[in-house]
Amino acid sequence: MTMRICFVTFGCRLNRAESLDLEAEYAAAGWDVVQLPSSVDEVDELNAAVPDVIVVRGCSVTAKAQSDCEKKIAQLRIRFPDAEILTVGCLPDAKPVPAYLAPPSLPDVSAPVNRRFSRAYLKVQDGCSGKCAFCIVPSFRGSPVSVPFEQALSRARAYINAGFHEIVVTGCNLCLYRDSNRRLPELVSAIAEIESSGHRVRLGSIEPGLCDTSLLDAMEANPNICRFLHLSLQSGSNRILRLMRRPYTIEQVEEFCVDATRRFGERLAFGADVITGFPGETDADFEATKAFISSHLPFPITHLSSPISHLPFLIPHLHIFPYSEREGTEAATMTPVVPVEVRRARAKELEIIAVANHERFARSLIGQEVEVCVERDGNGRTDEYVRCLLKGTAPRRSIVRAVVDDYFPKTGSLSATIRA
């Protein structure tokens, strides 16, 4: 009898890449990969879909994320008492897949490709050497390791040959990628230069202070590297960044963003992760963060070679998290503690700015031509990572050119007509 297995994945693109690769390995080994039944009724009606094994890849980036994973695992144990539940990834009780349930190991060049999603997720790096006061992830992921350069390229070629036209490069801390003297800029350039009928490369989150202008050089030399940079910012206050043990100042982030915008223009889209209510965050610290993520700063940036009165860039993609204590981190014992209700109120205030930033950026694309990677149901993402509903038909995973017609605030989506 064929064993049935399903995968439940929480968290980041790296987790997704790892789950998709593992899922493909099980499928290649003859397992029946099934989707998790959505209800008890569905279990009764489609008994064949009930999994024998459930692999939960967890996330502990925040206390809430870990709690959500643990609640889901508890629910799965009740719903599927006969299934073996394997917990992997970034959770305290995560364990390697036991040998008797592991798929056979395959050399990387022949590793199967998972075609369940419209983009390919290419893991090139794992682990982190950072000592951030709030972060528990290094205790799960360990020290930095990088996929060998040629092995990463081989995997990228396999994705392209399988019909993918967008490759998302992922890692625990991408900017720590290194194989001999080759770093992330050299790797993404090589992936972008692979011969194909047309593909593009999207970067996962990058760490300010660790990625320098050589990454911008790579983007400038390769137009098929998406004009989207997601920064692990965390705060707009230098005082809070120091308390967090972050390896950069807000001035360095400003310099990088201004340089990038000068090179690529207003079509360059930024994203950022921001934490509100970190221990010791004052009203003044919070105002500094608000100022940074807003479209204009109320004070001149004097440290630039050519001073300007405001930041000429927008951050349309913001991930905002109220701070949550993580046992085992330095921040969990830091004082003064910001009340939970204040953390949440500050997060809501930033969300208002985030929505306005996203709408302003998206509306600036109306009337312009965009490139969209086609997903299911006639939608996709533009090069700038804006959700887009397409008028016209095109094969899934293809990249099409379309002209933007409108923007829908309720869904945060563009509509665009595919060009003939």
pLDDT at 62: 80
* pLDDT tens string 399-417: 999 999 999 999 999 999 9
What is the average per-residue pLDDT within 184-204? 97
What is the average per-residue pLDDT within 257-276? 93
pLDDT at 314: 86
* pLDDT tens string 104-145: 665 454 678 888 889 999 999 999 998 999 998 888 888 999
Q: Which position has the higher pLDDT, 261 or 105?
A: 261
pLDDT at 198: 94
Q: What SS3 string covers 216-276?
A: HHHHHHCCCECCEEEEEEECCCHHHHHHHCCCCCHHHHHHHHHHHHHHHCCCCEEEEEEEE
Instruction: In whole angstroms, give the CA distance from residue 192 to residue 225.
Output: 7
Q: How many CB atoms are located within 10 Å of the residue 345 CB?
A: 14
**CATH number of the domain located at residue range(s) 4-89 in this protein:** 3.40.50
Q: Which position has the higher pLDDT, 139 or 370?
A: 370
Same fold, 4-89 and 109-363: no
- Statement: residue 393 has pLDDT above 70: yes
Residue 286 token pair: 């919070």
Instruction: In whole angstroms, give the CA distance from residue 281 to residue 244.
Output: 11
pLDDT at 5: 92
Beta-strand runs (E) in 113-153? 120-126, 145-146
| CB-CB contact of 207 with 174 (8 Å) | yes
DSSP string of 328-395, one letter each residue: TSGGGG-SSPPPHHHHHHHHHHHHHHHHHHHHHHHHTTTTSEEEEEE-GGGEEEETT--EEEEES---
Query: What one-character DSSP code corresponds to residue 133?
Result: T
Instruction: In whole angstroms, give the CA distance from residue 189 to residue 221.
Output: 8
* pLDDT tens string 36-81: 866 444 444 445 578 999 999 988 888 888 889 989 999 999 999 9
pLDDT at 378: 82
* pLDDT tens string 283-308: 999 999 999 998 644 444 444 444 44
* pLDDT tens string 304-352: 444 444 446 789 999 999 999 988 899 999 999 999 999 999 999 999 9
Domain-wise residue ranges, the chain: 4-89, 109-363, 369-418
* pLDDT tens string 205-227: 999 888 889 999 999 999 999 99
Mean pLDDT of all residues belonging to the chain: 89
pLDDT at 98: 84
Query: What one-character DSSP code corresponds to residue 301?
Result: B
pLDDT at 113: 87
| CB-CB contact of 113 with 158 (8 Å) | yes
pLDDT band at residue 382, thresholds of 50, 70 and 90? very high
For 109-363, the fitting CATH number among 3.40.50.920, 3.80.30.20, 3.40.1130.10, 3.30.70.20 is 3.80.30.20
Instruction: In whole angstroms, give the CA distance from residue 163 to residue 157.
Output: 10
